[in-house]
Amino acid sequence: MDNLKQNILVTGGGAPGAPGIINALKSDPAITIFSCDFSEETPGKHLAHGYFRVPMGDDPNYIKTVTEECKKHTISTIFPITTKELLPLSLAKTQLKSMGIDVIVSDPHDLEIANNKGKLYDHLRLNSIETPEYFIVSSVDSFIAVAEELGYPSKPFIFKPCVANGSRGFRIVSADVDEHNLLFNAKPSHTYISLEKAVEILSMKSFPELLISEYLPGDEYTVDCLVSNGRTEVIIPRKRLKMNNGISVEGIIENNQKVIDYCEAILSTLKLDGPIGIQVKFSENNVPLLVEINPRIQGTSIACLGAGINIPLLTIRNKMEPSSASKNLQSNVKWGVHFVRHYSELYYD
């Protein structure tokens, strides 16, 4: 790509995954990397070649600011890595394309399905793709009724907002919750809650639309997928071994064909594009079932570097040279690689 020097914008410079994504792109000297964020000081500012501030992704002035900065710095491709920016950038994709700026984002219709867990589960059900048993509720009374239908208190269940970022709002409701033990022996980031406490909190303000589903007790996988022009190029399951605040910090790259086939079936029903993250967990019957889809690159996708697959760089190359999309990527994955993620420091004056 020496003759294809490009200026690339990686958004979300303050996101946990930004340093890894930026460093992965730095392996190609033809790419000049800009980063942006609503905060002044972020890791992205000190790792990228250039940096500027923008409003939050859902701010009315976000697109205007990003457009002005891209023109100023002759940026040819926007690589969004935070959820709030996806829909505004998708809606502006045609406008930006007319200015010579590509955006690595799916079209609005399928993006809205993927970003709304209720719509997503309904979509998969209509397409005969198996999901956990689930209900969509919008009141405390229906919340309690559904809990009983899912077997509570004999069985735990989970709930989460239909629209949310990361693990915000996610809880496992269990009759065995020991709140005294959680207070003194668990970190504040624990996800367990009693039904009584959940009802108390949900009764405080207007009730959000929630997805309630069965609890899946089996192994959990974060799956990195890369879709280019409707073609799924690679699907890489990462078995989660350790979590920190909802982020995978230890795992193994595992050639799990059940997970790969399931994710391929899901992707075949959606017109998503670029790097896509799929969370999958096994049921008590040892069946992989969907937890959620992240229709963007996942911060932990850099773990795949250890397996020989540079997803951020492949994404950019596919956008810059669509005809050169890599063939047989799946067969090039080095399976069985363990990874551990850890904190690192940046120093600046």
DSSP string, 247-280: EEEEEEE---HHHHHHHHHHHTTS---EEEEEEE
CA distance 118 to 211: 6
Domain 111-116+217-340: give its CATH superfamily: ATP-grasp fold, B domain (3.30.470.20)
281 touches 231 (CB < 8 A): no
Q: Does domain 133-214 have CATH number 3.30.1490.20?
A: yes
CA distance 307 to 47: 24
Neighbours of 118 (CB within 10 A): 19
Helix boundaries (H) for the chain:
18-25, 43-47, 62-72, 83-91, 93-98, 108-115, 117-126, 140-149, 179-185, 195-202, 257-267, 311-320, 329-332
CA distance 338 to 319: 30
Q: Which residues pair with 78 in a beta bridge?
A: 9, 103
| DSSP type of residue 203 | T
Q: Which pLDDT does position 230 carry in this prediction?
A: 85
Each residue's pLDDT tens digit, 15-47? 999 999 999 999 999 999 999 999 999 999 999
Neighbours of 268 (CB within 10 A): 12
Its CATH architecture, for the domain 6-105, is 3-Layer(aba) Sandwich (3.40)
Q: Which amino acid is at 53?
A: R
Beta strands 157-161; 210-214: pairing state: antiparallel
Contacts of 318 (CB under 8 A, 6+ apart): 226, 228, 229, 233, 324, 325, 326
Q: Which pLDDT does position 190 carry in this prediction?
A: 82
Q: Which residues of the chain have pLDDT under 50?
A: 1-2
Q: Which pLDDT does position 266 carry in this prediction?
A: 98
Model pTM score: 0.94
CA distance 136 to 209: 7
| DSSP type of residue 42 | -
The domain limits of the chain are: 6-105, 111-116+217-340, 133-214
Q: Which pLDDT does position 1 carry in this prediction?
A: 46
Q: Which amino acid is at 167?
A: S
CA distance 112 to 295: 9
Q: Which pLDDT does position 325 carry in this prediction?
A: 58
